[in-house]
């Protein structure tokens, strides 16, 4: 929160000193372009992990923290007798509708990571890559 206030104060200072709001707009759009690039890189790596994973049948077991250091809860699936956590955090809003213990789901298991991509993680990777690329394209188009 303090970071946002500092950025606002710097923006006001720049606009007062230079008398031009264009510098702030270029700075904000450049910052968003860098964030968009980071999104594309992260989700491209996740897409490569998706492509190198193997389809398995898994049954949802529980939602919990994967270890003591983690801040986000993840879904755990039982695959071939082992309980394996998902790579991405769980969808907390519609938890009872999305995660049902009475069904078997097709999940992507990455053996080197020891993690699973469930259907929500797959959708997150695809949408993140598309939205990050789209935002970057729009920002680049704004520069030209």
**56 three-state secondary structure:** strand
Specify if 2 maps to a domain.
no
Among residues 139, 118, 134, 3, the alpha carbon closest in space to that of 58 is found at 118
The total domain count for the chain is: 1
Specify if 6 maps to a domain.
no
- The Cα–Cα gap between 117 and 110 comes to 8
pLDDT value, residue 41: 93
Specify if 52 maps to a domain.
yes
CB atoms within 10 A of CB 89: 17
**Which tens digit of pLDDT belongs to each residue from 24-56?**
777 778 888 888 889 899 999 999 999 999 999
Specify if 104 maps to a domain.
yes
Specify if 140 maps to a domain.
yes
pLDDT value, residue 6: 79
**Which tens digit of pLDDT belongs to each residue from 76-134?**
999 888 899 988 888 777 777 777 778 888 999 998 988 999 888 898 899 989 988 88
Specify if 14 maps to a domain.
no
Strand order across the 104-110 sheet? 82-85, 74-79, 54-64, 104-110, 115-117
Residue 110 bridge partners (DSSP) = 115
**Which tens digit of pLDDT belongs to each residue from 56-70?**
998 988 888 877 887
Specify if 119 maps to a domain.
yes
Q: Give the range of the structural domain holding residue 114, as residue numbers without chain letter.
A: 26-144
Specify if 10 maps to a domain.
no
């Amino acid at each position: 929160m303090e970071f946002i206030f500092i950025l606002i104060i710097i923006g006001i200072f720049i606009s007062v000193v230079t008398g031009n709001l264009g510098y702030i707009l270029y700075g904000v759009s450049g910052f968003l372009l860098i964030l968009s690039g980071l999104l594309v890189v992260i989700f491209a790596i996740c897409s490569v992990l998706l492509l190198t994973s193997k389809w398995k049948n898994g049954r949802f077991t529980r939602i919990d923290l994967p270890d003591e250091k983690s801040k986000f809860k993840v879904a755990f699936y039982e695959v071939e007798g082992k309980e394996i956590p998902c790579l991405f955090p769980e969808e907390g809003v519609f938890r009872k509708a999305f995660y049902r213990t009475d069904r078997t789901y097709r999940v992507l298991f990455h053996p080197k990571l020891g993690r699973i991509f469930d259907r929500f993680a797959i959708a997150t990777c695809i949408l993140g890559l598309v939205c990050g690329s789209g935002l970057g394209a729009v920002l680049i188009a704004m520069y030209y």
